[in-house]
Chains A and B, each alone.
Chain A
Amino acid sequence: MSANETQGGGAAPRCLVDLKDGQTGIIRKNGDRKSTEMGLFPGARVVMFRNRKSEMSVVIGAGDARFLVSRAIAMKVELEG
C-alpha cells in the first residue's frame, strides 16, 4: 500500500503538524530555512509517519528520506489545500 492512498477526505490540513499518521501532503510554503535546505521545499510530497500531541517532534517522510521535525518547525511548513 502506498502512503498516499491513505489520504483522507475532510478539511484539508493547512500545515505539516495538522497531518495525521499516514496522510500525505504537498508543501506549498516553508517558513523554516534549514528544513527547506534539507529537502522540505515547496512542491515536495511528504507523508506523516508519527504525530502525537504529547511529543515534541513529528516523524515524516519526504522522497526517500525520513525526518524528525520539531513541532515548532512543522507548524511553519504550509501544505497545499
Chain B
Amino acid sequence: MGDGLRVALVGNPNTGKTTLFNLLTGARERTGNWTGVTVDSAHGVLDIGAEQLRVTDLPGIYSFSPYTEDERVARDYLIRNKPDAVINIVDASNLERSLYLTAQLLDMRVPLVVALNQMDVAERHGMRVDPAHLAQHLGCPVVPMVASRGEGGEALKQEVLRVAQARRLPTARVLYGDAERSVQRLQVCLIVAADDAGVDSRWLAIKLLEQDPFARELTKGLFDEIAAEENARIARHTGLKPEAAVMDARLGFIRGLAHDVVKRRLEIRRRFSDLADRLLLSRPAGIPAFLCVMYGVFWLTVRLTQPLVDFIDSALSALLVQGPRVWLGGLGVPELAISLLADGVGSGLTTVATFMPPIFMIFLCLSLLEESGYMARAAFIMDRFLNKIGLPGKAFIPLLVGFGCTVPALMATRTLEQRRDRLLTMLIAPFMSCGARMPVYAIFAMAFFPKHGNAVIFALYLIGALLAILSGWVLHRTLFKGDASAFVMELPPYHIPALRGCLEHVWYNLKSFLVRAGQVILLIAVLLSLGNAVFEWASAGEQQAAAKKSAAGRALTVVLRPMGVAEDNWPAAAGLLTGLMAKEAIVGTLEVLYAHADEAPAPDAQTFSLGASLREAARGLAAGYGRAGDGTAPGGESPGLLASMRRNFGGRAAAFAYLLFVLIYSPCVAALIVLGREAGWRWMGFAVVYQTLLAWMVATAFYQAATFFEAPLRAGLWLGALAVLAAGGVGLLHQFGKRGTR
C-alpha cells in the first residue's frame, strides 16, 4: 500500500469534508459542526475497482497562509508528500469563499479534482451553479455532489482515479494583474531553487512576493533582494503593498469566476439559526441558557451516571475481586497468584469499567454540543469574560473540550492564530477537570460526603474553572502581556444532532480512552500487587514488612503532610504518583494498596456469596435511580475501600484537600507529551512545576484553614507562609515576563 496512489482531501471547515472522507473510505471519522474538527490529519483507504488509494483528510482551512497550525499542517503535507491527486471540496452555497483556497491550489500546481458539494443547499437558497462551466474555467474536473446523501460519490471516485493515475495538473492559472510581470520575472530566477525544494517555481514566486516566511525559508533568503526589488516595483505601480496587490488579483479572479458560473438571488436570507441566535446570543437569555447547558452537562455526567458507577463497582468487585479470592483460596492457589489475579487484574478491570458511564456521558454531551452548533455560540457568550484574561472567545472551545479529556483540548488550540493565545490556553486547559478525574471524585464523595456528594463534585469542577481563570489572569499580567487577539469565527447553522453520528463519535472516543487508560491502570494494579507481595515475602515476617512500609511511607508523605496526608497514609501519596500515568489510576492504586495496608478481612467461603453480592448491587442501583433528584450520592456501606479511606484520611478536610490536589496537579503523561509537542518542552516543564506547586499550595491552604481551630498557631503560620510563597511566585513570573522569556 505504501507504493499505491495517494489522495489528499482539502477544503474549508463546514463544507462536509469529513462526511466526504467517510463516504469515500467507509471510515467512521468524527464529523462536527464547528471550525476545526479535523485538527490533525486522518487517513483511510479508497477502493476503486482493483486500485487502492490512500486518502488523507487534512484539517479544514480557509487558505494556505500560515496563520494557524492547521493551515501549516495542510500546506506542509501537500508540499512534502506530493499526493497524486488533491480533492478540493468546495461549498456550492458559498462558492466565492471556497474558491479562495481553490485559487491557491491552482498556484501550487497540484493534480486537482473539485468536489462541488452541497448542491442541494445552494439550490434551496436560490443559487444555480454550473459545474461544467466551472470545470472549464479551472481546467480540472468538477463533480457536483451531495456528500451527505452519497450523491456524486461514484463520479468523484472515477475522476480522482483518472487524475491520480496521470498526475494531471489543472490547465488554468490565476493571473496577478499589476503584479503578474513581477511574478514572471521572479519565477525565472527561481526555477532551480524551486526544483531543489520540490515546489512549483511560479507558486514560490507568488509566495515570495507575499513575503511568506515559509517561502523565504525554502529559498534560504537567497532571493530576498530580488523579491524586495519586485515588491518596490509593485508598490510604485499600484500604491498597494505587494501582498495586497496579489490578494486583490486573486479576489478579482474569484469574483469573475463566480459571476460567470453562479446565478443567484442577491439578498441574504434569514434562517431559523438567525432567529435562535437573537435569543441565545442576547445577554438576558444567553447567559442563563449557557449556565443551564453547562449545569445540564454536569448533571448528566455526574448525577445520572453515579448509581450505575456504584453498581458496576459493587458487581464487578464481587465477580472479579472477592469471588476469585474465595474460589482460588479454596483451590489452594498460592497467595501471590491470588493477589495478582484478584487484587491486581480484578481490581484493575473493575476500576476501568467504572469509568465507562461518566466518560461516555461527557463525550456524548460534548458531541451533542458540537453537532448542534451550540459550541460556537458558547464561544461568543464567553468572549467578554475571556477577554479579561487576554484570550479571544474562541479559546473557550478547547477549554470546554478539556472537560472530556485534556489531550484533545490541547490539540484543539491549533485553531487559535496567535502563539501567545495558544500557549496561554494550553497552560490553563488542564485546570478544566477531565473525565478521568471523575472516578476519583466519585469514590471520595461516597466515602466522605454521602449526603452532599454532588455538590462537592460540582464545587471541584467550579474550582477548576475558577483556577483556570485566575491562572489566566496572573499569566496574562506576567508572562503573556498584551490584549486578546482579534478573531473571526464562522458560526455554523444549528443542527439537530444525528444520534448515530454522535454515538459513533462517542464510541470511538470511549474505546480509545479505555484502551489507553485501561492498559496503564491494569499494568499499575498488577505491578503494585506484585511489588507488595514481593515486599512482604522479602521482609521475612509481617511485622518487619509493616515497619519498612511505614518508613517508606514517611518519606513519601513528608511533603503532603501540611495538606492533611498523615505519614501512615502512604497509599494516598503513591496514588498521586501513579496518577501521573493516568488520573484514573489513583482509584486503582488506593484500592490495591489499602487492601494490603489495612489487612482488611478477606472474604471467605462461608461469608461470601456471589448471588447475594450481585443482588445487593442491583438493589443499590434501583435505590440510586429511585432517589434521583435528592442530591444524595448513593452507595451505602460498600466495600472495605471506603472504610479504609475514612480511616486513613481521618476526616473530610484532608479528603477534600487531597481532591483539590488531584484536581490541580500536573497533567497526566499523555497530556504532557502533547503539551511538549505542541508548546515546547520548556512550557511542558513549566506546566508541571506550576500546576503541582499550585496544587500543593491550594490543598495546604484549604486544609490549614479548615483545621484552623484545632491548631490556630500552626495553621496561621502555614497560611502566612503560603501567602508569602504566592506573592513570591507572582513576583518571579513578573520578572520572567519583564525579561521576555517568551
Residues of A within 8 A of B (CB): 1-5, 24, 32-47, 49-50, 52, 54-57, 59, 61-73
Contact = CB atoms under 8 A, between A and B. Distances in A.
Interface of B: 62-63, 65, 67, 93-94, 96-97, 100, 121, 125, 243, 247-248, 251, 254-255, 266-270, 273-274, 277-278, 281, 283, 376, 379-380, 383-384, 387, 392-394, 417, 484, 486-493
Contacts of A66: 273-274, 277, 490-493
14 contacts: A2-B267, A32-B486, A34-B488, A39-B96, A42-B248, A50-B281, A56-B387, A56-B393, A57-B487, A64-B125, A66-B277, A66-B490, A66-B493, A73-B486
Contacts, number: 127
B489 A63 contact: no
A73 B266 contact: no
A41 B107 CA distance: 19
A57 B393 contact: yes
Residue among A5, A47, A54 with most chain B CB within 10 A: A47
Given A67-B491, A68-B488, 15 more contacts: A2-B269, A3-B268, A33-B243, A34-B62, A37-B100, A41-B100, A41-B254, A42-B248, A49-B278, A50-B277, A55-B383, A65-B490, A66-B492, A69-B488, A70-B392
B100 A59 contact: no
A56 B254 CA distance: 31
A68 B380 contact: yes
Contacts of A64: 93-94, 121, 125, 268
- Of B255, B278, B487, chain A has the most CB atoms within 10 Å of the CB of B487
Contacts of B417: 34
Given A36-B251, A45-B268, A67 B490 contact: yes
Contacts of A45: 266, 268
Given A38-B488, A55-B383, A67-B489, A44 B96 contact: yes
A67 B94 CA distance: 13
A43 B487 contact: no
A76 B703 CA distance: 52
Contact of B94 (A2, A33, A37, A63): A63
Contact of A41 (B251, B273, B277, B492): B251
Contacts of A49: 274, 277-278
B631 to A, nearest CB: 36
A57 B392 CA distance: 10
Nearest to A36: B247
Contact of B267 (A4, A32, A43, A52): A4
A2 B100 CA distance: 27
Contacts of B254: 41
A58 to B, nearest CB: 10
B379 A4 contact: no
B104 to A, nearest CB: 9
A39 B387 CA distance: 25
A73 B493 contact: no
A33 B96 contact: no
Nearest to A66: B491
Contacts of B243: 33
A24 B274 CA distance: 15
The 6 closest A-B pairs by CB, nearest first: A39-B97, A2-B267, A70-B486, A72-B486, A37-B63, A66-B491
A67 B387 CA distance: 18
A73 B287 CA distance: 24
B205 to A, nearest CB: 19
A33 B376 CA distance: 22
Contacts of B67: 34
Given A4-B267, A4-B268, A65 B488 contact: no
A73 B379 CA distance: 17
Contact of B488 (A50, A61, A70): A70
B528 to A, nearest CB: 49
Contacts of A52: 283
Contacts of B492: 66
A37 B61 CA distance: 10
Given A55-B383, A63-B94, A73 B269 contact: no
A63 B93 CA distance: 8
B274 A65 contact: no
A62 B487 CA distance: 16
Contact of B270 (A3, A46, A50, A68): A3
B392 A63 contact: no
Contact of B277 (A44, A57, A59): A59
A8 to B, nearest CB: 16
Contacts of B65: 33-34, 37
Given A38-B488, A56-B384, A63 B266 contact: no
A73 B387 CA distance: 15
A67 B255 CA distance: 20
A39 B492 CA distance: 14
Nearest to A38: B62
B96 A68 contact: no
A3 B97 contact: no
B270 A73 contact: no
Contacts of B278: 49-50
Contacts of B490: 38, 65-68
A49 B493 CA distance: 14
Contacts of B96: 39, 41, 44, 63
A42 B266 contact: no
A5 to B, nearest CB: 8
Contacts of B393: 56-57, 68
Contacts of B62: 34, 37-39
B487 A70 contact: yes
A2 B268 contact: yes
A63 B247 CA distance: 20
B251 A61 contact: no
A19 to B, nearest CB: 12
A52 B357 CA distance: 42
A59 B274 CA distance: 10
Nearest to B14: A65
B255 A38 contact: no
